[in-house]
Structure 1
């Protein structure tokens, strides 16, 4: 990407904190923009986005291309691209009436006619999909699948800020 190359040209004049801010402004913001469409991207496309993030991390830490990237991303506290999906935040907001109404209509909570222990787990029902290649990318399927895989203590967070913090910690520990 052009932004990484231009920042790389002036890197020797910048300290680490300034370089990190530039990377967040120009690279991470683009990776995060509309990242809910990354949910079921093919691995080849996700790999290209991950390579972009890896280049940015290497530039910030001034490491060589052959150095292993996982410790660098861990040190910078950056989530891998596949873990940066904001669809879970949208789901949380929808369940707490903080999202647009059209999203509320897509997600349905699981309700059982009998009294079971799973009733208290705050689960969602994934929509039926007709096509395997594109159906799993739909919000009505992907959001419930990701939501149901979360631990209950995250789903039961009392505020959006607490949910974000718990979710990032969970995803960070899962990734590293």
Structure 2
């Protein structure tokens, strides 16, 4: 998929094959495929946490709420899935991927007040990573 995206970027910009693809992608403001996947997972997680996703998606994630007051109680984290997957296929499940992607985001992104602000901050974070 990354190769297809690189070819499309070169086609759109009419760049030569030897031109730097990272500069072309940055100029087009396109995320690489892996970061695009992280963007989509994080966006779906945000929607699920704010009641904008289908119920079957929202049921897959659980907000982390400690039993007593801890510093992490204000971090807007997700709880790890109950059963940790043993296979690579299981590690690609939405529940596992959402938990990892969401908890790796900086706090200011997780606490975004609206979906538009969240998308902007998330894309900026992923570009700067």
- The TM-score range, normalised by the shorter chain, is over 0.9
Whole-angstrom distance in 2 between the partners of 1:138 and 1:129: 11
**1:135 equivalent in alignment to 2:90:** yes
- Pick aligned residue for 2:105 from 135, 145, 150: 150
Query: Deviation of residue 130 (structure 1)?
Result: 3.3
What residue is the counterpart of 2:29 in the other structure?
77
1:17-166 to 2 correspondences below 5 Å: 49-85=1-37, 86-127=40-81, 128-166=83-121
Query: Deviation of residue 129 (structure 1)?
Result: 2.5
Please tell me whether the aligned partners of residues 85 and 91 of structure 2 are also in contact (alpha carbons under 8 angstroms). no
Q: How many aligned positions are there?
A: 126
Local SS of the residue matching 2:112: coil
Query: Deviation of residue 91 (structure 1)?
Result: 0.5
Query: Deviation of residue 109 (structure 1)?
Result: 1.1
Whole-angstrom distance in 1 between the partners of 2:11 and 2:58: 41
Q: What value does the CA root-mean-square deviation take over the aligned residues?
A: 1.1
Whole-angstrom distance in 2 between the partners of 1:139 and 1:109: 15
Local SS of the residue matching 2:9: helix
Local SS of the residue matching 1:108: coil
Whole-angstrom distance in 2 between the partners of 1:119 and 1:134: 31
Please tell me whether the aligned partners of residues 126 and 142 of structure 1 are also in contact (alpha carbons under 8 angstroms). no
| Greater than 4 Å deviation, 4+ residue runs | none
Please identify the structure whose Cα radius of gyration is greater: 1
Query: Deviation of residue 101 (structure 1)?
Result: 1.1
Whole-angstrom distance in 1 between the partners of 2:52 and 2:28: 31
Consecutive unaligned residues of structure 2, counting only runs of 5 or more, are: none
TM-score (norm 2): 0.92
Consecutive unaligned residues of structure 1, counting only runs of 5 or more, are: 1-48
TM-score (norm 1): 0.69
